[in-house]
């Protein structure tokens, strides 16, 4: 499963947010493939389309798709030099698909700031610098190796060196690797190095509990937004403390609490949706009377691959898929209605599954 890692300086609210995530956690029986680890929180991905399909089909069971957050605490200044538990944490970051960087935007004299005062931009730069330094080491090592290969007569490394020199230059200028414009070929070369600063980033701006409704007016949030815009990253304002309280409530109590706070939905839901989008993920649905269920795929997945998310047998024995777009199904009101309108398509092995497709797979066992 795809994972987002939660990073940030000490005392910015990471544990508080992670606790809210595990508290809100998904029904684990539905997700046997998810990692069981105290540092991993599995959450359901909120999706209005799933609710609508449930209304249409009235199934016995409903299962949202899930997403994993990993708590990567302990990243401190000097981590790239092995300080604290530095290298270990950098290794954990290497394993995630995206980074949720928690930034302190709340003021509270009772909570010490590692640098003595609240300064989100300087905090971001401190963490980013560690990631950049770690990447520089990887890139320089690789360049050296490739140069040797070129000297040894293997010319195919020339392009690699050329691209990596550009990455190195960017890193020296404190720019993350993701800020570079790369062709698909070049991206492939760079991807090979599993660079930390190539991963997509989302800044979670942690505001005070009395600021949730007016988070955008918080001057620190504004600073984070400006900074993030320059490096093409997303920002989600959130109050970790409030999320921890919301996560303890359910049903009507939760609705009422959100209303009191002046919120449409929890910050956690916004964070989950933003992380999902950041990773370029699509959701497709299966909709039978037994079960209506949402499934996650990467954008660009073909029909057999999508079937494989349900079961490897579905992928191996794939024959074809019956597909109707979610919007067509809802407009037609039923599967039969969609069929009558000619909107139920038969698709083969090369079909690129679209976000919102409602699918039924035919396969050989």
What one-character DSSP code corresponds to residue 234? E
Is 15 known as a binding-site position?
yes
Residue closer to ligand GDP, measured from CB, 12 or 258: 12
Nearer Cβ to ligand GDP (199/241) = 241
**Could you say which residues in the range 19-58 bind ligand GDP, by CB under 6 A?**
none
Is residue 13 annotated as involved in ligand binding? yes
16 binds ligand GDP (CB under 6 A): yes
Residue with tokens 């540092």: 39
Q: By CB under 6 A, what part of segment 90-109 binds ligand GDP?
A: 106, 108
Q: Which residue among 10, 84, 317, 337 contacts ligand GDP (CB under 6 A)?
A: 10
Q: Whole-number minimum distance, CB 339 to ligand GDP, in Å? A: 51
Which one of 43, 240, 278, 324 is in contact with ligand GDP (CB under 6 A)?
Answer: 240
User: Is residue 12 a known part of a binding site?
Assistant: yes
98 beta partners: 4
Provide the CB-side half-sphere exposure for 152 (13 A, CA). Answer: 9
Under the binding rule (CB under 6 A), the answer on residue 149 touching ligand GDP is no
Residues 171-200 that bind ligand GDP (CB under 6 A): none
Contacts (CB under 6 A) with ligand GDP, residues 204-223:
206, 208-209
Instruction: Work out whether 12 is an interface residue with ligand GDP (CB under 6 A).
Output: yes
| Residue 14 among known ligand-binding residues | yes
**DSSP at 292:** E
User: For the sheet containing 40-44, what is the strand order?
Assistant: 40-44, 66-71, 3-7, 98-104, 201-206, 234-238
Output the CA torsion sign for 126, 128, 133, 134: positive
Among 3, 5, 14, 199, which residue interacts with ligand GDP (rule: CB under 6 A)? 14
Strand order in 291-298's β-sheet?
A: 61-63, 291-298, 281-287, 357-363, 318-325, 345-347
Quote the distance between the C-alpha of residue 162 and its chain's center. Answer: 30
Q: Is 128 annotated as a binding-site member? A: no
DSSP 329-362: HHHHSSHHHHHHTT--EEE-TT-BPPTTEEEEEE
Q: Please state the closest distance from residue 267 (CB atom) to ligand GDP, in A.
A: 11
Burial class (CB in 10 A: 0-12, 13-18, 19+), 72: buried
CA distance 199 to 179: 10
Binding mask 105-144 for ligand GDP (x = CB under 6 A): -x-x--x---------------------------------
Show the tokens assigned to 131.
Answer: 């990631």
3-state helix, strand and coil shares in percent for the chain, rounded to the nearest 5? 45, 20, 35
Q: Tell whether residue 168 is a contact of ligand GDP (CB under 6 A).
A: no
**Residue from 5, 13, 64, 176 binding ligand GDP (CB under 6 A):** 13
- Say whether residue 8 binds ligand GDP (CB under 6 A): yes
HSE (side-chain half, CA atoms, 13 Å) at 102: 31
Is 11 annotated as a binding-site member? yes
Stretch that binds ligand GDP, among 12-20, 79-87, 223-231, 329-337 (CB under 6 A): 12-20
> Cα separation of 276 and 294, whole Å?
13
Considering only the stretches 76-84, 120-128, 234-242, 318-326, report the one whose residues sit in contact with ligand GDP under the rule CB under 6 A. Answer: 234-242
Binding residue (CB under 6 A) for ligand GDP from 101, 168, 199, 241: 241
Binding residues for ATP, by number, are 11-16
Contact footprint for ligand GDP (CB under 6 A): 8, 10-16, 73, 106, 108, 111, 206, 208-209, 239-241
């Amino acid at each position: 499963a795809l994972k987002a890692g939660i990073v940030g300086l000490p005392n910015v609210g990471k544990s508080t947010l992670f606790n809210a995530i595990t508290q809100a956690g998904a029904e684990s029986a539905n997700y046997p493939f998810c990692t069981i680890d105290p540092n991993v929180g599995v959450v359901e991905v909120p999706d209005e389309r799933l609710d609508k399909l449930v209304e249409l089909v009235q199934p016995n069971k409903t299962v949202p798709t899930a997403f994993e957050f990993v708590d990567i605490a302990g990243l401190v200044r000097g981590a790239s030099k092995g300080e604290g538990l530095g290298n270990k944490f950098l290794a954990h970051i290497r394993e995630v698909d995206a980074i949720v960087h928690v930034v302190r935007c709340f003021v509270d004299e009772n909570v010490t700031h590692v640098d003595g005062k609240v300064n989100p931009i300087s905090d971001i730069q401190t963490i980013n610098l560690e990631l950049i330094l770690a990447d520089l080491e990887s890139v320089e090592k690789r360049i050296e190796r490739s140069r040797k290969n070129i000297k040894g007569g293997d010319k195919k490394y020339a392009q690699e060196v050329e691209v990596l020199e550009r990455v190195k230059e960017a890193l020296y200028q404190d720019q993350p690797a993701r800020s570079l414009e790369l062709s698909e070929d070049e991206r492939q070369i760079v991807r090979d190095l599993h660079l930390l600063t190539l991963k997509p980033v989302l800044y979670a701006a942690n505001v005070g509990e009395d600021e949730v409704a007016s988070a955008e007016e918080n001057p620190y949030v504004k600073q984070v937004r400006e900074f993030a815009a320059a490096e093409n990253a997303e920002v989600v304002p959130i109050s970790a403390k409030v999320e921890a309280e919301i996560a303890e409530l359910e049903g009507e109590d939760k609705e009422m609490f959100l209303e009191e706070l002046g919120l449409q939905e929890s910050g956690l839901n916004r964070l989950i949706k933003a992380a999902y989008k950041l990773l370029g993920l699509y959701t497709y649905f299966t909709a039978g009377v037994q079960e209506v269920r949402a499934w996650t795929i990467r954008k660009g997945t073909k029909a057999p691959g999508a079937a494989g998310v349900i079961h490897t047998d579905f992928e191996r024995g794939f024959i074809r898929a019956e597909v109707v777009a979610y919007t067509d199904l809802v407009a037609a009101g039923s599967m039969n209605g969609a069929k009558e309108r000619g909107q139920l398509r038969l698709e083969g092995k090369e079909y690129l599954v679209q976000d919102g497709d409602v699918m039924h797979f035919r396969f050989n066992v």
